[in-house]
């Protein structure tokens, strides 16, 4: 990076945690407002969880034998033929989540789950290398979105939609404690999921280091950083967005090159994650294209 950029960001690295700048004396409210899953009726939320779920040992066995992308597998015990299914899933690098029979009962909607259920993904995941190749093929500086623990499918879908509209080259999501590519995500993305490369990784903090090694400069969207209007996005960059309740995790923020914030002038001191994504990504896209 040029010396002028280094001076501009002097002291901005590893800034204070937070989703957006706030006024002195205000408490941090990480709640995203109307985008929270708990704002929707319980029955609707349970339907969303079931619509992409395959239950039962034989059904999961057939699913693993096919080329269908699988987001994750839930098990309520590790015995009998479930052990073999877990081994097959691990060979395909599919996350295994220990659950309980009551939770699987709810997912199965009355079907006999036999202690195992699988979430089917809407599309194949890409790799970080493929995302970088997309940028190279377009002759553009990489613009990547990293989602650090977004759990609401509507929020994730909206972020993917924002990324596609801004011309970003890829979105990175974690394997665990976050939403995968469910039908609800696909619907909320308004079709953008079909045009966006999405990589799923085991560790976001390690992925940040990998991106930096590839020449990508990383910007954590949290309070206490530099005003995003003052940030120079005209370089290969990744914008890191935190989860609805937790924001960007401490370890991830510490590994990012810079912390950027969206100034708040009203009474509410934070934005929904997808709204923040639209603000930051359109700014970054404009700067990259103006050169």
The tens digit of pLDDT for each residue in 105-123 reads 888 877 889 999 998 888 8
- Alpha carbons within 13 angstroms on the beta-carbon side of residue 62 total 5
How far is 98 from 77, CA to CA, in rounded Å?
7
pLDDT at res. 21: 44
pLDDT at res. 2: 44
Count of other CB atoms within 10 angstroms of residue 250:
12
The pTM for the full model equals 0.71
Q: Calculate the alpha carbon distances from 274 to 83, 135, 161, 201 in Å.
A: 39, 23, 9, 21
More confident residue, 15 or 166: 166
pLDDT at res. 176: 81
Is 53-120 in the same CATH topology as 3-34+124-290?
A: no
Tens digit of each residue's pLDDT (9 = 90 or more) over 2-21? 444 444 444 444 443 334 44
For the chain, what are the domain ranges?
3-34+124-290, 53-120
More confident residue, 132 or 39: 132
Tens digit of each residue's pLDDT (9 = 90 or more) over 73-90? 999 988 899 999 999 999
Q: State the pLDDT confidence band at 33, using cuts at 50, 70 and 90.
A: very low
Handedness of CA 107, 56, 193, 287 (dihedral sign): positive
**CATH 3.40.1280.10 matches 3-34+124-290:** yes
Given a cut of 60, whether residue 221 has pLDDT beyond it is: yes
**CATH 3.40.190.10 matches 53-120:** no
Given a cut of 90, whether residue 71 has pLDDT beyond it is: no
Q: State the pLDDT confidence band at 216, using cuts at 50, 70 and 90.
A: very high
Structure tokens at 36: 């929270």
């Amino acid at each position: 990076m040029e010396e002028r950029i280094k001076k501009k960001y002097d002291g901005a690295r590893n800034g204070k945690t937070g989703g957006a700048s706030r006024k002195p004396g205000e408490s941090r409210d990480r709640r995203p407002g109307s985008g929270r899953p708990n704002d929707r009726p319980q029955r609707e939320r349970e339907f969303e969880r079931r619509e992409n779920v395959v239950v039962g040992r034989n059904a999961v066995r057939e699913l693993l034998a096919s080329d269908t992308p699988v987001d994750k597998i839930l098990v309520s015990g590790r015995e009998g033929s479930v052990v073999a299914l877990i081994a097959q899933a691990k060979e395909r690098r599919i996350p295994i989540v220990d659950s309980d029979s009551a939770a699987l009962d709810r997912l199965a909607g009355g079907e006999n789950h036999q202690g195992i259920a699988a979430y089917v993904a809407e599309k194949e995941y890409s790799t970080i290398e493929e995302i970088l190749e997309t940028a190279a093929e377009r002759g553009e500086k990489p613009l990547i979105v990293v989602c650090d623990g977004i759990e609401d499918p509507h929020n994730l879908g909206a972020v993917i939609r924002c990324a596609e509209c801004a011309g970003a080259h890829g979105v990175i999501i974690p394997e665990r404690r976050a939403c995968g590519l469910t039908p609800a995500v696909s619907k909320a993305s308004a079709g953008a999921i079909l045009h966006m490369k999405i990589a799923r990784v085991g560790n976001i903090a390690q992925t940040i280091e990998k991106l930096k090694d590839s020449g990508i400069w990383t910007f954590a969207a949290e309070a206490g950083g530099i005003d995003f209007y003052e940030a120079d996005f005209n370089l290969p960059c990744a914008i890191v967005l935190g989860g609805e309740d937790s924001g960007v995790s401490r370890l991830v923020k510490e590994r990012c090159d810079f912390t950027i914030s969206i100034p708040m002038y009203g009474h509410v001191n934070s934005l929904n994650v997808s709204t923040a994504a639209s603000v930051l990504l359109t700014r970054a896209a404009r700067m990259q294209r103006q050169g």
